[in-house]
Structure 1
């Protein structure tokens, strides 16, 4: 088989990473001096790297994160309330595998959404399915789903995500249906998925915000059990960037 036929066959088999690696080897004379096993190993590595890259791209496309936050860029400046050791542990994504939750609170501009998206980005890098929803928008989607009969499909989609980010919790008042829908979403995830909830008000105020003792108890029981809490502090990050 000629090299051209080999290239065509690799393309037909969708081994694009291996094909690109072989093309690179053919243009660099130094590879001719390497043992076959080493050259072949590098081709396999190229294919694996290509597939990992494509999978990450697909996971992030489906996640629809609000910001493409890089975990390496997390700001640990004094006064933010972030402990490097705690965040380092979260970036291992062991809590996602254990189907636990992360609750991020702090005033406007302290970086709650950015940090939530950075943790979600790390999970996607590890091959985990991720989704991002603002709570108000999600409840609107569920309201529409009630009307058109697609609620079951939407709930199944949310339940299948290994990590779901619920952002801006507490910005929009919850009506009776919203409270019930939120409980159903969280109940579906108990034992099956991890959740990040980000909001301005402290966790201790969430019960009063939900404004229904029975549903508040049920919602918080599903959120707070085995959760990691990050309370961000300091001035608005947006204000600091603008003044800088």
Structure 2
């Protein structure tokens, strides 16, 4: 919110949506326009990174995307997996290393722990775990 208030261009995209956009940007105008907006952002927030395994093609296009953002935009990633677990989900050690090299080069890693924020407010439905 602070980046927006300071006049920065910010894009928020879920990882599954990002992969869809990356795969379809060469064939649909909607995806092209959304990717131009994301790549033109000062801050890109990618939600639920590594929530699902990627095939080699997806890993490659994700690397190309991160490489384009590197040194031109700030990136915030949310993930339920630590970087040490990304290799198995990206499926290629070389691509994983290249992605992590760019992401972690000038970053701050913040690890959160505790109860799920979403479930915390749903105790009336699910009871105590």
TM-score (normalizing by structure 2)? 0.84
**2:26 counterpart residue number:** 146
Instruction: Please name the residue that 1:199 is paired with.
Output: 79
In the alignment, what sits opposite 1:230? Answer: 110
Q: Which residue in 2 is equivalent to 1:219?
A: 99
Larger of the two Rg values belongs to structure: 1
- Distance of 2:18 and 2:107 partners within structure 1: 22
Which residue of 3, 8, 14 maps to 1:134? 14
Match of 1:189 among 69, 79, 82: 69
How far did 1:240 drift?
A: 2.4
Conserved? CA contact 1:132–1:167, under 8 Å: yes
1:86-122 C-alpha deviation (Å, 9 max, x unpaired): xxxxxxxxxxxxxxxxxxxxxxxxxxxxxxxxxxx11
Q: Could you tell me how far apart the structure 1 residues matched to 2:31 and 2:57 are?
A: 13
Q: 5+ residue gaps in structure 2?
A: 125-129
Shift in alpha-carbon separation, 1:155–1:180, aligned structure 2, 3 A: farther
How many angstroms apart in 2 are the aligned matches of 1:215 and 1:158?
Answer: 22
| TM-score, structure 1 as length reference | 0.47
| RMSD between superposed Cα atoms in Å | 2.1
- Alpha-carbon deviation of 1:191? 1.2
Q: CA deviation at 1:150?
A: 7.5
CA distance in 2, matches of 1:186, 1:138: 11
Query: The residue matched to 2:115 in structure 1 has which SS?
Result: coil
Aligned equivalents of 2:77, 2:10: Cα separation in 1: 13
**Gapped runs of 5+ residues in structure 1?**
1-120
- Secondary structure at the counterpart of residue 217 of structure 1: helix
User: Which structure 2 residues correspond to residues 107-118 of structure 1 after superposition, within 5 A?
Assistant: none
The one of 88, 93, 97 aligned to 1:208: 88
Query: Does the residue aligned with 2:16 lie in a helix, a strand or coil?
Result: helix
Instruction: State the match for 2:49 in structure 1.
Output: 169
- Structure richer in helix, relative to its length: 1
